[in-house]
Amino acid sequence: MVATFTGKVVLVTGGGSGIGRASALAFAREGAKVVVADVAVEAGVDTVSKIEATYGEAIFVKTDVSKAAEVKKLIKKTVDTYGAIDCAFNNAGIKGVSSSTAACTEENWDRVLNINLKGVWLCMKYQIPYMREQGGGAIVNMSAAAGLSNCLERFPAYTASKNAVIGLTKTAALEYAKAGIRINALCPGYIYTPMVESEIHQNHQNSDLKDLMANKVPMGRWGTPEEIAEIALFLCSDTASYVNGHAMVVDGGLVA
């Protein structure tokens, strides 16, 4: 089903872990030259080593997606190295600290919004001009099922950021459709990644939280990073040539 990415240049932010790493590996498997961006150096370098050891070509660029100067440099480095930027998976994100809306600190609010929302905007801000110049491209922005109807209690900043990513994605999709740039959002449900694992391990009062959450999903299980990676590939591929401005849910039936 998934089209080949041979000859394509693909950028994945948050590519050092979880969904981002699985996606970077999958794009490379399909022939893409992959730019792995992450704030975590060791993790990002490790993803590149895994790509080089198994499939192909990749570079790592240390980037904090909430910083305009770093994102600008990342996109320039991508184009300088590989001559183009065909697809971007703006995936980097954090959950932030768990607290009620009234208890959420300004620091937590700003950090989550800066990475999850401003980070996605900054990535598009610097990706789009190159894509326009080269005559098109495909962008996938990471939202979440929590960006739709499955809002998360005790994560107000996260939920707000993921809702906002969908609005931002649709606005940009309208603006650049005629420039040949497709822009979609991806909304995973419960995906078992290092982000989730550390949250579950911190929650000592509820050691079977993992099973409790799995039981909330109609399919009765967590999704895997690889299952989300395949959908990121689909949305970036020519197979999805008429999919634009869409928020695609991949959640085992959670939102339904």
Measured CA to CA, the distance from residue 62 to residue 72 in angstroms comes to 12
According to the binding rule CB under 6 A, does residue 12 interact with ligand NAD?
Answer: no
192 is catalytic: no
Find the binder of ligand NAD among 23, 78, 91, 141 (CB under 6 A): 91
- If binding is defined by CB under 6 A, does position 213 make contact with ligand NAD? no
- Give SS3 for 12: strand
C-alpha to C-alpha distance for 191 and 228, rounded to whole angstroms:
8
3-state DSSP of 48-66: HHHHHHHCCCEEEEECCCC
- Choose one: 3-11, 121-129, 191-199, 210-218; the region binding ligand NAD (CB under 6 A): 191-199
Q: How far is the CB of 145 from ligand NAD (least distance, A)?
A: 6
- Residue 93 as a binder of ligand NAD (CB under 6 A): the answer is yes
Judged by CB under 6 A, the residue of 126, 188, 213, 231 near ligand NAD is 188
Look at residue 96 and give its three-state secondary structure.
coil
- CB 197: neighbour CB atoms within 10 A? 12
Which residue matches tokens 């620091």? 107
Query: Which of the stretches 15-23, 28-36, 123-131, 236-244 binds ligand NAD when contact is defined by CB under 6 A?
Result: 15-23
Choice from 24, 48, 92, 112 touching ligand NAD (CB under 6 A): 92
Which of these ranges, 11-19, 174-182, 199-207, 233-241, lies near ligand NAD under the rule CB under 6 A?
11-19
Sequence-distant (6+) residues with CB within 8 A of 215 are none
Q: How far apart are CA 119 and CA 34, in angstroms?
A: 19
Residues within window 150-179 making contact with ligand NAD, judged by CB under 6 A: none
Chosen residue from 18, 96, 137, 252 binding ligand NAD by CB under 6 A: 18
Indicate which single residue of 9, 10, 35, 43 sits in contact with ligand NAD (rule: CB under 6 A).
Answer: 43
Q: Please name the residue that has the structure tokens 């040949």.
A: 180
Tell me how far CA of residue 44 lies from CA of 28, 211, 222, 228, in angstroms.
Answer: 14, 30, 25, 19
Closest CA to 91 of 183, 233, 186: 186
- Which residue among the candidates 82, 158, 176, 190 is catalytic per the annotation? 158
Q: Does 19 bind ligand NAD (CB under 6 A)?
A: yes
Residues that bind ligand NAD (CB under 6 A): 13-14, 16-20, 38-40, 43, 63-66, 91-94, 115, 142, 144, 188, 190-191, 193-196
